Structure 1
Amino acid sequence: MKLRELKLKNFGKFHDKSIQLQDGINVICGENESGKTTIHTFIKAMLFGLERGRGRASAKDTFSRYEPWEFGNYYSGELRFQSNEKDFCLQRNFDKYSKSVKLYCETDGEELSPEDGDLEMVLDGLTASSYENTLCIGQLHTATNQALAAELKNYATGYYMTGDSDIDVSAARAELLEKKKEADREAREMLQRKERKRETLEQEAAHIWRDIHYMDSELKEVELELQYRDVDEVEEEPPEEVPTSRWRVHPLEIVAIIGACILLLCVLPGPWNSLVTTVVIVLGIIYIWNRMKVGKRKAKTEEVTEELDVGEELISTEKLQWKKEQLTNMCKEKQIEYENLQESLRELDHMNMDYREVDRKREALILAISRLDMLTLEMQKQMEQVLNRKASAVIEKLTDGRYSRLVIDDSLHMHVWHENQQIAVEQLSQGTLEQIYFALRMAVADLLYAEDYPIILDETFAYYDDTRLERAMAWLAESGRQVLLFTCHHRERDLLKKMNIAYADIRL
């Protein structure tokens, strides 16, 4: 990829500022506050966009910092570049009210759609994060961050496993973890539903068991009562019949009354004998009448009582037989219901098909994550070897063979070898440390991107002495990449002239 023209229509201090760029090294020179950092920021904003912050942060964010000094409503720019032997024109309007982006292929006249990912496709997956960690190096910003380490891990796994570095293995692992969480949650909910169902079944079984026990006890009582009645009917002898008189008033009682009256008439003198005899006769009549009345009522009462006793005995026995039959049937029904509940509980003890399916899914996801992690580790080791080789080649050139081996681990921690001695980079001088980080960035860029992107250097070599700077210029010239070197000094241009290295001299 080559940048051909930067057109700052309205961006920061610039208005209709056009900068033509060439292949190789472009030295953009200007005094402090001449706009070097503005141009540097413009390139990144054109490639990846420029978003306005929210809240209080928006007052000091990049969007606000580079708003046009004039014509604030026309916050825009244009970038022409070449990629895959085709010329493109990228136009952006950063204004919050009329924000837009357009991309044209000037070679064939096709209008592309950045909203649909055409710009990312043209840039071949270059992101703002990787751009800042590799190709774009500012003063005192040569060190990388952990985002680059994560991107390298993802690149290593995707590329070495599939041959396609665009495959986002980190996203795939995150998706697998999310699916595993869903499977865990589903399995947990199934177990909870199972336990709730078990508690319900056990409660129902306990109630039915109590009903069965109660009805069984009552049935035994009924059977025992019927058994007693059957024994009484067999063993009890019929009572002897007591002869009852058919007379309600005995004749002897009447004879006695008549005899008494005759005796009184004969014995007592008159007129007392007649009076007393009359009284006795009246009393006898009254006595006979009462005897006849009481006898009749007693006979009727005995008859009714006998009928009631026989009826009550017959009704009670029938009720007991009916109750026995009902209790027996209910016990059978309850027993069947209880056995069905016990069968349901036994089925719960065996994992159902749905749970087994979820469990198999969980095991498969765990295995996939484990396998992916193992392969990631293996691929990272392979990537580290390639990265170490590339970075060592760069550092050897920059240090003229003093440090010929740079070792980088998966977290981008580094150390160098010098005369068979391992040295942590933190022990080295700031100038050497800057060279090591520069070597790391160039090696990563070479590893991650198939296309040679421009290298943006904004006062990057402030800690370099003349010897280090000369080696850096030599390496940049040999790399064949397009270089945009922003500086406020003349020593880079003087050194390039001394080394007979062609460059484009751009003054701000």
Structure 2
Amino acid sequence: MYINKLFLKEFGKFNNKEIKLDKGLNVLYGEPGAGKSTIRDFVSGILYGMNKTKGLGSRGDNFALRKPSGGNGYAGKAQVTNAGKSHLMERNFNMSTDGATLTDIESGKDERLVSKNSYRGVLFDMDKSTFVDAMCVDPPEEMGGDDKALCDRLEKYLQNMKETGCSGINRADAVAYLENEKKKYDNQKYLVQIEDLEAQMDELGEVDKELEDIRTARREELDAYNMEIARLKREARQLVNEKDAEIPDEDEDRERSRIFLEVEAIDDEDELKEKKKQEKKDKKLTDNIFVIMATGILVVAVVMLVVHLVGFQKSIQQLFTICTIAFVAITIIDGLFRKGAFDSDKLPSEEEFRRTIYEMGRATESRTVRVEIDRAFQEEHDRKLDMFKFQEHDAIEKRDAYYELKEKRDAIFADYDVLETEKKAIDKAINTIMDISEEFSGLFAGIDGRVSDILSALSGGQYQEAKLDDEMHVAVKKDDHFFRAEFLGHEVVRQVYLAVRLAVAEILNNEKMPLVLDDVIDVTDESQLTGVLKAMSMVNTEQTILLTSDKDLVNRLEDIHIACNVVTL
């Protein structure tokens, strides 16, 4: 991917500034303070946005620094070419969401972004941290003051890039920070409390099952007792008619091993049904008053019909009807009188009264008997019920105690689980850092050779070999010996710095993203310039943007006829 045009609508000191760029080498010349670093920040800003947050990963944002002091605008555009297609990128830096849009220039249609405010996943996959740390090469002066400080910063840069892929994140510091944060979520004391409560719960046992077993045993005992009483009652009903059975009195009961219960002998349902059927059979149809009345009406109707059919005179017909009605009425009244329907107010004789009383008493006597129960059986039943009652009471107390402990345990476990979740998240972050570190360590395995090749090109073959130890200290071979770069002079330190930065860009730039160099070229003759151009060509990129305040560098490029696009700020 390469950039065709930058349009700084409102960014830093620029207002509606348009810069045309070409594929390949672009040289942007400007005196100190002309805005070269602003252009560098705009390139990364238009591609990735400028975050307001501070801290790890915020390097290169400079949101407040590049925000225009006058007016409310803070925006820009860029035209880029990716895989032969031209796109227009527009970004409003004031908007943290929905601030970026992408348009297909050929069709004029807006393109859908995978993530809001980000072109990643559409135009490129490289993240902002990698682009800023690998593809944007800052002036050496921004890393440190003297040569020793610059070398120390360069070693930290290399170490962090090798271990985390981010110059601002040190693996050891990050892991130590996370381990320290993890201590804040120590939940071992909760675990001890949970184990103690669970031990107490285990001592109580299966309280629900124990309570249910007790209640089941009590129901079974009641069922067995009721079945025995029912059996005795059935036997008692068979004694209903045994009038002369001898039954001990109450005082005698207390001295015996038997208990007597009075039981009312209830007729079986089958016997009751049979009695009702028999009563219906024994009852005469002529005893029914409704049948009698219906018969009388039928007789009157028949007589009236016959008289009408014979053709008697109307007066004679009426006479026959009246006589028939009178006859039927007298007959019905006489019949009811004979059956005693009008004798309800007649008092029974003394003999009839005594007979009735005797029969009622006999009926009551015949339907009540005393059931004999073993006293030991009854006492054992009562004892079991009392035992079940106490057992159930104890079981309920145990169950309540169990669930009280369970409630406490669950509450503590909720707190424990929250802390455990945080600890697992931290562990996952640590593991992710270690996995990333392993991945980047593999990528940087051959960095010694890359640095050596680039340094050889920059130095015109004077320094052909560089070596990096485990702590990323850079040593340069001179006269068959390796020396730390700071001991070889300022010029060598700057060459080592550029060689390391270009080597990192070569390793991490697998998408041919633009390479931005900000005042890192310091040459005194054409041979050195040729070496620098050769070194830059080792980075796999379609576009290089060289920002410089060295006018002689621009002139030398023209002198040796290097094809490049020169823009003066």
> Where on the TM-score scale, by shorter chain, does this alignment land: which range?
0.5 to 0.7
Q: Residues of 2 paired with 1:487 and 1:371: CA distance?
A: 42
Map 1:39-118 onto structure 2 (within 5 A). 39-52=39-52, 62-68=62-68, 72-95=71-94, 100-107=99-106, 109-114=108-113, 116=115
Cα deviation, residue 439, structure 1:
1.5
* One-letter identity of the residue aligned with 2:134: T
Q: Residues of 2 paired with 1:39 and 1:377: CA distance?
A: 32
* One-letter identity of the residue aligned with 1:65: L
Shift in alpha-carbon separation, 1:499–1:8, aligned structure 2, 3 A: same
Map 1:358-507 onto structure 2 (within 5 A). 382-409=442-469, 411-462=471-522, 464-466=523-525, 468-476=528-536, 481-507=542-568
For normalisation by structure 2, the TM-score amounts to 0.49
Shift in alpha-carbon separation, 1:106–1:427, aligned structure 2, 3 A: same
What SS class does the counterpart of residue 383 from structure 1 fall into?
Answer: helix
Contact conserved, 1:384 with 1:409, CA < 8 A, in 2?
no
Q: Residues of 1 paired with 2:430 and 2:100: CA distance?
A: 43
Contact conserved, 1:405 with 1:416, CA < 8 A, in 2?
yes
Percent sequence identity is 24
Q: Residues of 2 paired with 1:197 and 1:106: CA distance?
A: 68
Cα deviation, residue 382, structure 1:
4.2
Contact conserved, 1:83 with 1:122, CA < 8 A, in 2?
no
What SS class does the counterpart of residue 437 from structure 1 fall into?
Answer: helix
Q: Residues of 1 paired with 2:430 and 2:23: CA distance?
A: 47
* One-letter identity of the residue aligned with 1:483: T
Cα deviation, residue 483, structure 1:
1.9
2:163 to 135, 141, 153: 153
Cα deviation, residue 127, structure 1:
3.0
Question: What residue is the counterpart of 1:16 in the other structure?
Answer: 16
Q: Residues of 1 paired with 2:15 and 2:568: CA distance?
A: 16
Q: Residues of 2 paired with 1:88 and 1:136: CA distance?
A: 22
Shift in alpha-carbon separation, 1:485–1:415, aligned structure 2, 3 A: same
Task: String of CA shifts for 1:447-489, please: whole Å, max 9, x gaps.
Answer: 1121222221222124x54354442134335656422222222
Task: String of CA shifts for 1:157-211, please: whole Å, max 9, x gaps.
Answer: xxxxxxxxxxxxx9xx99xx99xx89x978875553222343577799xxxxxxx
What SS class does the counterpart of residue 23 from structure 2 fall into?
Answer: coil
Task: String of CA shifts for 1:330-365, please: whole Å, max 9, x gaps.
Answer: 9x989x99xx9xxx9xxxxxxxxxxxxx9xxxxx99
* One-letter identity of the residue aligned with 2:131: Y
Q: Residues of 1 paired with 2:433 and 2:73: CA distance?
A: 49
Cα deviation, residue 493, structure 1:
1.5
Contact conserved, 1:27 with 1:487, CA < 8 A, in 2?
yes
* One-letter identity of the residue aligned with 2:491: G
- Let me know the Cα RMSD of the aligned residues: 5.0
* One-letter identity of the residue aligned with 2:515: I
Contact conserved, 2:502 with 2:536, CA < 8 A, in 1?
no
Question: What residue is the counterpart of 2:199 in the other structure?
Answer: 198
Most deviating of 478-487 and 131-140: 478-487
What SS class does the counterpart of residue 403 from structure 1 fall into?
Answer: coil
Shift in alpha-carbon separation, 1:93–1:436, aligned structure 2, 3 A: same
Contact conserved, 1:12 with 1:68, CA < 8 A, in 2?
yes
Q: Residues of 1 paired with 2:192 and 2:537: CA distance?
A: 67
Task: String of CA shifts for 1:308-351, please: whole Å, max 9, x gaps.
Answer: xxxxxxxxxxxxxx9xx99xx89x989x99xx9xxx9xxxxxxx
Shift in alpha-carbon separation, 1:146–1:112, aligned structure 2, 3 A: farther
Q: Residues of 1 paired with 2:524 and 2:500: CA distance?
A: 20
5+ residue gaps, structure 2: 55-60, 144-152, 206-379, 403-416, 418-423
Most deviating of 400-409 and 484-493: 400-409
What SS class does the counterpart of residue 562 from structure 2 fall into?
Answer: coil
Shift in alpha-carbon separation, 1:124–1:392, aligned structure 2, 3 A: farther
Shift in alpha-carbon separation, 1:428–1:73, aligned structure 2, 3 A: same
Shift in alpha-carbon separation, 1:408–1:86, aligned structure 2, 3 A: farther
Question: What residue is the counterpart of 1:306 in the other structure?
Answer: none
Q: Residues of 1 paired with 2:32 and 2:432: CA distance?
A: 51
Shift in alpha-carbon separation, 1:125–1:429, aligned structure 2, 3 A: farther
Shift in alpha-carbon separation, 1:441–1:368, aligned structure 2, 3 A: same
Map 1:271-350 onto structure 2 (within 5 A). none
Task: String of CA shifts for 1:290-321, please: whole Å, max 9, x gaps.
Answer: xxxxxxxxxxxxxxxxxxxxxxxxxxxxxxxx
* One-letter identity of the residue aligned with 1:126: M
Question: Structure 1 or 2: larger helix share?
Answer: 1
What SS class does the counterpart of residue 8 from structure 2 fall into?
Answer: strand
